């Protein structure tokens, strides 16, 4: 075999491999830039006085969310029709999963329910709390360039084993950031979410009929 023919064979066999590698660059680890900063939010621990003591068990399901919110990236809007994300900033887990964890912890912090947990732990519940995250972003609509965190959650309380929705309500809260820094934006998220968590817990505990 001549040297020229061997060169052509090598080129023919290696070309598909080279093209394949070029098409898979999204799977390769990024070599540039520092890692993103990770952020989390806190559960609610203060509630209205005189909450009724619930003698029933509750499962908090993971909230449903649109594809734009069902990730660990922190969402922002510069206009009502545009969704973007902060660079080099992430939640510690997917936003709906984090929301579920904080709801469960908030119910536990209320001290007013005998058993609450995720569906995954196999809790045999009397009620399920189904939720949908409809807003969970920082909005840059103000002329001063300082964002407002907006959180909106629709909640449905489902009676088991009938699987009947006995009540539904939407909770929404906003909080303007004290500045443009990322930590200040996260504090605004935390304050807005805290209001939604509190109202959701109080509504859930007072909705089921007594007896």
DSSP 43-74: ------TTPPPEEEEEEEPPPEE-TTTSSSEE
Distance of CA 60 to the CA centre of its chain: 14
Of 6 and 203, which is predicted with more confidence? 203
Region 164-189: mean pLDDT is 98
Q: Is the torsion defined by CA of 197, 94, 96, 109 positive or negative?
A: negative
In the chain, the percentage of residues whose pLDDT exceeds 70 is 83
Q: What is the pLDDT of residue 211?
A: 58
pLDDT, tens digit (0-9, with 9 covering 90-100), for 83-94: 999 999 999 999
The full set of domains in the chain, from first to last, is 55-206 (3.40.50.10610)
Question: What is the rounded distance in angstroms from the CA atom of residue 102 to the CA atom of residue 154?
Answer: 16
Region 172-176: mean pLDDT is 98
- Residues present in the chain in total: 211
Whether residue 15 has pLDDT greater than 50: no
- Here the tokens at position 107 are 């119910």
- Here the tokens at position 37 are 């900063």
pLDDT, tens digit (0-9, with 9 covering 90-100), for 55-108: 999 999 999 999 999 999 999 999 999 999 999 999 999 999 999 999 999 999
Q: What is the pLDDT of residue 153?
A: 98
pLDDT, tens digit (0-9, with 9 covering 90-100), for 142-163: 999 999 999 999 999 999 999 9
Question: What is the rounded distance in angstroms from the CA atom of residue 211 to the CA atom of residue 205?
Answer: 14
Residue 27 has a CB neighbour count (10 Å cut-off) of 7
Question: What is the rounded distance in angstroms from the CA atom of residue 86 to the CA atom of residue 157?
Answer: 34
Region 119-133: mean pLDDT is 86
Residue 138's nearest CA partner among 48, 193, 75, 70 is 75
- Here the tokens at position 26 are 């999204």
Question: What Å distances lie between residue 137 and 15, 18, 114, 203, CA to CA?
Answer: 45, 41, 33, 24
Mean pLDDT of all residues in the chain? 87
Q: What is the pLDDT of residue 210?
A: 73
Whether residue 182 has pLDDT greater than 50: yes
CB 193 within 8 A of CB 186: no
Q: Is the pTM of this model over 0.75?
A: yes
Whether residue 30 has pLDDT greater than 60: no
Q: What 3-state class would DSSP assign to 137?
A: strand
């Amino acid at each position: 075999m001549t040297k020229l023919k061997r060169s052509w064979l090598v080129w023919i066999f290696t070309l598909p491999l080279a093209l394949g590698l070029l098409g898979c660059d999204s799977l390769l680890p990024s070599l540039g830039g520092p890692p993103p900063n990770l952020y989390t939010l806190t559960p609610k621990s203060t509630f209205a006085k005189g909450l009724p003591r619930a003698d029933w068990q509750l499962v908090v399901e993971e909230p449903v969310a649109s594809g734009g919110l069902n990730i660990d990236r922190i969402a922002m809007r510069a206009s009502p029709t545009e969704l973007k994300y902060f660079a080099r900033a992430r939640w510690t887990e997917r936003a709906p999963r984090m929301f579920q964890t904080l709801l469960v912890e908030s119910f536990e912090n209320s001290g007013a329910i005998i058993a609450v947990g995720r569906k995954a732990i196999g809790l045999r519940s009397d009620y399920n709390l189904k939720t949908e995250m409809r807003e969970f972003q920082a909005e840059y609509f103000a002329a001063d360039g300082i964002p407002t965190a907006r959180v909106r959650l629709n909640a449905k309380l489902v009676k088991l084993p009938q699987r009947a929705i006995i009540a539904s309500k939407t909770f929404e809260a906003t909080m303007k950031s004290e500045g443009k820094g990322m930590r200040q934006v996260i504090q605004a998220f935390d304050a807005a979410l805290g209001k939604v968590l509190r109202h959701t817990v109080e509504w859930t505990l007072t909705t089921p009929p007594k007896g």
